[in-house]
Amino acid sequence: DTGVSQDPRHKITKRGQNVTFRCDPISEHNRLYWYRQTLGQGPEFLTYFQNEAQLEKSRLLSDRFSAERPKGSFSTLEIQRTEQGDSAMYLCASSFLGGETEAFFGQGTRLTVV
Amino acid sequence: KQEVTQIPAALSVPEGENLVLNCSFTDSAIYNLQWFRQDPGKGLTSLLLIQSSQREQTSGRLNASLDKSSGRSTLYIAASQPGDSATYLCAVGADKLIFGTGTRLQVFP
């Protein structure tokens, strides 16, 4: 297993366009998390799944954001009608069961909205 | 609401020095605390996980301690090297992690 994989690594899009990011977690991990990180800040929690169920969404996740994990394996994060304020690094992490277990992060997707 | 603070925000030291990075949190009812390293433009690499029942963890030149009663953790880096230059983040939580803003470390030869 090569760890958490995210695709694409970089995305430049025009304001108003839709974008979709993919995350492949570590295969035996049943929890998957999405975070957003802006320059000079720590990552901020967006949402997480246990298997295919989305268990929590942050207030940061506006109606333009949607995340899915249809078969409890990979996940997608879609942003509709992108705004310049959406420019950030989007990070995915996975863990086994959650609680007192270690979270492993992917390399992130850098989104630039122009 | 849990808040995590890291001090100092930036640190520049010569190679070979021993370092202490600090992390404080407001709610002591944490499940675990995790230290990460982040290189510029990259994702996070997990360094150490301290579970709530533990007081410290060690990995190579790194040692992290946890004092839940005072809401503090420290990351000790022994004999720093230029390759240690990165941003170090601490995070607390269970289902989701709450992060500090990090300490940007530069180790010069």
Among B103, B101, B74, smallest CA distance to B13 is for B103
Task: Say what the pLDDT of residue A113 is.
Answer: 98
CB contact under 8 A, B99 and A108: no
What's the rounded mean pLDDT across residues A48-61?
93
**Res. A60 pLDDT band, cuts 50 70 90:** confident
The full 3-state SS of A87-111, as one line of letters, equals CEEEEEEEECCCCCCCCEECCCEEE
Residue B62 has pLDDT above 60, yes or no: yes
What's the rounded mean pLDDT across residues A11-40?
96
Task: Say what the pLDDT of residue A1 is.
Answer: 54
Asked if B97 is an interface residue toward chain A (Cβ–Cβ < 8 A), one would say yes
Task: Say what the pLDDT of residue B52 is.
Answer: 85
CB contact under 8 A, A45 and B49: no
Which residue of chain A comes nearest to B4, CA vs CA?
A: A42
| Residues of A with Cβ-Cβ distance to B2 under 8 angstroms | none
CB contact under 8 A, A48 and B52: no
Shortest distance between the Cα of B37 and any Cα of chain A, in A, equals: 11
Task: Say what the pLDDT of residue B31 is.
Answer: 79
Percentage of chain B with pLDDT > 90?
83
Asked if B58 is an interface residue toward chain A (Cβ–Cβ < 8 A), one would say no
Q: How many CB atoms lie within 10 A of CB B41?
A: 11
Task: Say what the pLDDT of residue A98 is.
Answer: 56
pLDDT in tens, B5-32: 999 999 999 999 999 999 999 988 877 8
| Residues of B with Cβ-Cβ distance to A104 under 8 angstroms | 46
**Arithmetic mean of pLDDT over chain A:** 94
| Residues of A with Cβ-Cβ distance to B37 under 8 angstroms | none
